[in-house]
Amino acid sequence: MPADTTALFVEHRGTLVKYATGLVGSRAQAEDLVQEAWLRFEEAARQQNLSEPLHYLFRIVRNPAFDGKRRQNVEDKLFRTNAEQIMAALPDPYPSAEVIATDKDNIRRLQEALLELPPRTRAAFEMHRIEGRTLREVAAALKVSVPLAHVLVMEGLQLCKKRLRWK
């Protein structure tokens, strides 16, 4: 019987590949599927007498194709759903035009507020709040006491908050 099965397979291989391509949507996958079907077909033909070998061969191609499609559909649904949920949960990395406009306006008002400050107050505020220096370093740089450095920084902060309309 193996010689007959080989001839049958060779004769219908092109048709089997076309059939499998229609089922799985990919010629490469169809080729693999038909090759696997051939191996199964050979094994089955050795073990039993097949009454309709061509019908059996097409069934061997069809069943794994359907199983693969079902598995792929489940995986697609799982991964697509998870990917959509993850993407929906991520914050937008780019600010909106409104946020950009508001931020630009705040920066402009902050610059104007800093220009209104007396020079020593502005220097204390910039050293502490912008450069990140400690009050002790600010006091040393301005040659004032630490409590006065604190007062100068707070005066600058209060004016900036007022100009930015912060409470």
Token look-up 């100009």 returns 163
pTM passes above 0.75: no
Decide if domain 97-163 falls under CATH 1.10.10.10: yes
Q: In angstroms, rounded to a whole number, what is the distance separating the alpha carbons of residues 25 and 31? A: 11
CA-CA-CA-CA torsion sign (38, 42, 44, 49): positive
For residue 137, the model assigns a pLDDT of: 95
Two structure tokens written together for 36? 């696997």
What pLDDT, in 10s, does the model give residues 40-93? 888 888 888 778 888 888 888 888 888 878 888 787 777 766 666 777 777 778
Q: In angstroms, rounded to a whole number, what is the distance separating the alpha carbons of residues 153 and 12? A: 89
Q: In angstroms, rounded to a whole number, what is the distance separating the alpha carbons of residues 17 and 15? A: 5
Average the pLDDT over 30-48 and give the result.
Answer: 85
Tell me the domain boundaries of the chain. Answer: 2-89, 97-163
Q: In angstroms, rounded to a whole number, what is the distance separating the alpha carbons of residues 64 and 129? A: 68
Mean pLDDT of the chain: 85
Look at residue 22 and tell me whether its pLDDT is greater than 60: yes
Quick count: other Cβ atoms within 10 Å of Cβ 70? 10
Question: Please, what is the angle between helix 27-47 and helix 2-24, to 10°?
Answer: 150
- The model's confidence at residue 118, banded by pLDDT at 50, 70 and 90, is very high
